[in-house]
Structure 1
Amino acid sequence: MEKLKNINGNDLINLGFKPAKWFTKAIEHINQENLNEEEMLAYLEQFKPQPQIDLFVNPISYQVNIEAENELERENVGKVKGDMNTIMRTPTVVNGAIMPDACPAGPSGTIPVGGVVVTKNAIHPGMHSADICCSVMLTDFGKTDPKTVLDVAHTVTHFGPGGRERDEQFRFPMDLLEAFESNTLLSEKQMIQLARKHLGTQGDGNHFLFVGISKATGNTMLVTHHGSRGPGARLYNRGMAIAERFRKELSPQTLKQNAWIPFDTEEGQTYWDALQIMRKWTKKNHEVIHDATLEALQQEKENRFWNEHNFVFKDGDLFYHAKGATPLDEKFMPDITGPRLIPLNMASPILIVEGKTNTNNLGFAPHGAGRNMSRSQHKKQFVEVANEILFEKETAGLDVRFFSKEIDISELPSAYKNATNVKEQMQKFQLGEVIDEVMPYGCIMAGDCLKNAPWKKRRRK
């Protein structure tokens, strides 16, 4: 058969292929090897698009570890189950579970907070959310006075939008910088600038710095809660864009928020590696706040442990997407150093738990108390009550501070599910054993940091 000459992109398009990154390499190979038509078609076979994958007709079954306590919760659980029923028709899914703190988290078919979805050979960025590696870290300060720890930590931490000014930034570790630079999803200048600027910051929303007393030892404990901030959000957006390209090609019926990146692709490997680097950055983000507080107090830590609850965990070719679910099984945490942490609300203890995998929990526990209503719904409920009055009532006896000096009532205990009910359901469904509790002394949160934001002040003027 006659050899082909000067094959170009138009020739591949005429053969039915859509323009893609592989065109350049394929054209170069065909022309350099001087392939004939039969050889070229055999070579191009590897680039043919895979057949589109339909949704499952019926949802895969999943574990329901939640019971409604009242009418509001029945409505909430109904929405959560509806979302899970949609998710469990996604063609990569093999198992799932919902926890007692489950609540809706977006448009219909979005993984709920308190949800675990297990997929095969697929990473779903929408199922770990933009707050990649949202996590909690505890440091044991021994018998140091809790007020002293909270006061010093207040001078160290940073809440609200944006990051630290240059003269307030923590040193960016060289090994982390090299890791960012080695990954194409993290290596751009703006991403690294964000990683530097946001190190040692906690953001807003439900993120906090909590100080309390161990019920078991009487020691003072500092606990921080936050995710990967701007760098994580930026990586999430890139992951969603990659997943969307695959969704259009592989499974257009799948909802956009449930799009996936096949793990056995170059994009899948790169994204997975980027997630692990972002996990290291987030852990370091906790550590610099804790270590700076220790340094200011001129003391050494007595103990420390941490765990994420917004992440993707790998076991063989299975990927466990935990959106607000705490890993119990040690196989999910390569740097396990102790038990897990489950915060409930600012006026309740933080639970310290251990546990084993069973058919109910799939190796996970709840991550907190969850919500029965949105922030705006909660605010409407108390529209006739002054913020100061509600705050005093719900935080009596506690040292609760807002970094912005503006009360955010959507973070008060009434905004969350009943903590006692969550604990009872954890026991009923075997979702971890409570081995200690950190009794609340006080905490710091961002507060309503938009109320007096600079752009709002300018608009009022």
Structure 2
Amino acid sequence: MTKMETDILKLTSEMLADWGHEPGKAFGAALRDGQAALDNGEALEAVRQMLESYKPDPVLPLADPGAKPFHVNLEAASEDEKANLEAVMHHMTELMRTPTIEAGAIMPDACPAGPLGTIPVGGVVAARGAIHPGMHSADICCSVMMTEFEEADPKTVLDAAHSVTHFGAGGRANGKRFTMSMGLYDQFRENRFLSNPKILRAAQEHLGTQGDGNHFLFVGVSRKTGKTAMVTHHGSRGPGAGLYKIGMSIAEKFRRKLSPKTLKQNAWIPAESEEGIAYWEALQLIRKWTKANHNALHQATVEVSGSTHSERFWNEHNFVFERDGLFYHGKGATPAWDGYAADATGLTLIPLNMAEPVLVVRGKDAGHALGFSPHGAGRNYSRSEHKRRSVAKSPEQMLREETEGLDIRFFEQKIDISELPSGYKKADAVVAQIEKYGLAEIEDYIDPYGCIMAGEMEPFWKKNKQARR
């Protein structure tokens, strides 16, 4: 032991500060444990190394605006399209300042979704060692599934589907529920996040439900085979929303510690942390539940229609994917590389609007799209703006004009004009940009016969208030 070491009888706050420690909960513990080690005869340098783990993680700064460019697979012609593109670019520029993000891209269907810096719909980012709950949103694993029927006409399939599906808030009433696999239920119970009682209850009550908004059940005819096909679009409902809420709470704790200047909606959970490992496992279980949710409705429709099916596949377009050491967050974007998941078939679906075909495509894994393709048509302006522009016509008139010859049904018996074709970008322009940017190869078109959507709904709080009365 050197003379300097024997002279040090007391570890001081000034010494800890010189070693890079900062005031906080760990500071006092470092002072106490370091002194105890010195008292036990540990060398000064050994004590210094021992106390490295007591230091707070380094605070990660935001990147400078524009320091990390992103790929743009979107062009604008009209004034509305230009305004939308400008807004998307503004959001992405701010989003790319997040410390964990290494690359980004926007699809032809991109549109803003939330406060400045929120990942747009139609946006993709690649993050290093981080899972961002806000980038998959509450509608975790929003996805589409297609079943092709043998010898069943479209009306029979749509009627059968209408009799078994469920749109709107909440879940199915007791006695009308689908049965959740006990194996999957047990896996939920074993996960630290999904064992939440509210999530477990929702996992049972919401199976076989589709929610509201832009979720739909579409029936059409394949141009390639001439067979009737059904496509459903929805996410993980209550279980996913519950996991998202927990994930955002955990991510916020890490944000305050690791990067306080990062926007709250872009907080992350370190992937290799105990919480990150459990959250990733929870995401995979939510994916299983969502696939089961689709499958329950499809199989019930097959049985009620008295038909059989020849093909069924699905893909998510609102999820997190791990590839080459990075976590790819697709917010309304479809993975377009082979083997992105164990159950991937190589084919994915791109719906456009209720009066246009659903595209069956094979992805091209384009580098300038980070390996993704669009998930739909997207919007050039908000639902409320669309409603404001549509006051000159009644909902019934708009429905007739925009969906002539189609069987369009609203589960709540009230037309939601924001979900009519005029609420979305022009389908032909989106398809042209898919081809121009080489994002996917179209293999088939499912031409529309009809569809079911939730329709205009009263806010859940208003319904609950009326029920209490």
**Normalised TM-score (structure 2):** 0.89
Question: Deviation string for 1:414-455 (max 9, x for gaps)?
Answer: 000000000000000001000000000000000012189973
Question: Deviation string for 1:95-116 (max 9, x for gaps)?
Answer: 1110000000011111000000
1:155 aligned partner, one-letter code: S
Q: What is residue 15 of structure 2 aligned with on the other side? A: none
Higher alpha-carbon deviation: 95-104 or 358-367: 358-367
Q: What is residue 427 of structure 1 aligned with on the other side? A: 435
1:419 aligned partner, one-letter code: A
Equivalent of residue 181 in structure 2, options 169, 173, 198: 173
Is 1:341 the counterpart of 2:355 in the alignment? no
Q: What is residue 195 of structure 1 aligned with on the other side? A: 203
Q: What is residue 164 of structure 1 aligned with on the other side? A: 172
3-state DSSP of counterpart to 1:294: helix
Equivalent-residue separation in structure 1 for 2:259 and 2:224 (angstroms): 52
2:25 aligned partner, one-letter code: K
Equivalent-residue separation in structure 2 for 1:204 and 1:314 (angstroms): 29
Equivalent-residue separation in structure 1 for 2:52 and 2:41 (angstroms): 17
Q: What is residue 18 of structure 2 aligned with on the other side? A: none
Q: Based on CA coordinates, which of the two structures has the bigger radius of gyration?
A: 2
Matches within 5 A, 1:214-363: 214-363=222-371
Matches within 5 A, 1:66-85: 66-85=74-93
What percentage of residue pairs aligned between the two structures are identical?
A: 55
Q: What is residue 136 of structure 2 aligned with on the other side? A: 128
Question: Deviation string for 1:137-168 (max 9, x for gaps)?
Answer: 00011230100000010010000000001101
Equivalent-residue separation in structure 1 for 2:215 and 2:50 (angstroms): 53
Matches within 5 A, 1:98-177: 98-177=106-185
Q: What is residue 393 of structure 2 aligned with on the other side? A: 385
Root-mean-square deviation (CA, aligned residues, Å) is: 2.7
Is 1:55 the counterpart of 2:74 in the alignment? no
Equivalent-residue separation in structure 2 for 1:131 and 1:41 (angstroms): 47
| Cα pair 1:330 1:336 within 8 Å, conserved | yes
Question: Deviation string for 1:361-393 (max 9, x for gaps)?
Answer: 221100000001111110111112111111111
Q: Following TM superposition, by how much is the alpha carbon of 1:34 offset from its aligned partner in structure 2, in angstroms?
A: 12
Q: Following TM superposition, by how much is the alpha carbon of 1:332 offset from its aligned partner in structure 2, in angstroms?
A: 2.0
- Change in 2 beyond 3 A, CA 1:237/1:457: closer
1:114 aligned partner, one-letter code: G
- Change in 2 beyond 3 A, CA 1:387/1:457: farther
| Cα pair 1:315 1:331 within 8 Å, conserved | no
Equivalent of residue 407 in structure 2, options 396, 399, 412: 399
Higher alpha-carbon deviation: 443-452 or 315-324: 443-452
What is the count of residue pairs matched by the alignment? 446
| Cα pair 1:406 1:451 within 8 Å, conserved | no
Equivalent-residue separation in structure 2 for 1:183 and 1:18 (angstroms): 29
User: Which runs of no fewer than 5 residues in structure 1 stay unpaired?
Assistant: 3-13
**Normalised TM-score (structure 1):** 0.91
- Change in 2 beyond 3 A, CA 1:246/1:408: same
3-state DSSP of counterpart to 2:369: coil
User: Which runs of no fewer than 5 residues in structure 2 stay unpaired?
Assistant: 1-7, 10-20
Equivalent-residue separation in structure 2 for 1:400 and 1:69 (angstroms): 30
Q: What is residue 11 of structure 1 aligned with on the other side? A: none
Equivalent of residue 52 in structure 2, options 45, 51, 67: 45
| Cα pair 2:169 2:460 within 8 Å, conserved | no
